[in-house]
Amino acid sequence: MLQGLLIKKIVEIIMKQFKLDEIKKYVEEPNELDRQVKSLQKSVNKYGQYIEEMEKDIAEIKAITKKLKIFK
């Protein structure tokens, strides 16, 4: 019982001394960079889908022009 209280108090002192609680908060909670990365990931996914659609359209256009023998 006494050892448990003593250990908790020592851990509190060490955390305050080395500001471990602030480091823990920084690591575990989302911060500005996390939000920016998430936003960029959404943009990359959006543009990736757009590029895939464009590639499909280009493939269709190539198939049509090949059938019509417009371009060789």
Q: Give residue-wise pLDDT tens across range 7-21.
A: 999 988 888 888 888
* pLDDT > 90 in the chain, percent: 50
pLDDT for residue 40: 97
Return the amino acid letter for 36.
Answer: Q
Interatomic CA distance for residues 24 and 27, integer angstroms: 5
pLDDT for residue 25: 86
Interatomic CA distance for residues 23 and 28, integer angstroms: 9
| Predicted model pTM | 0.57
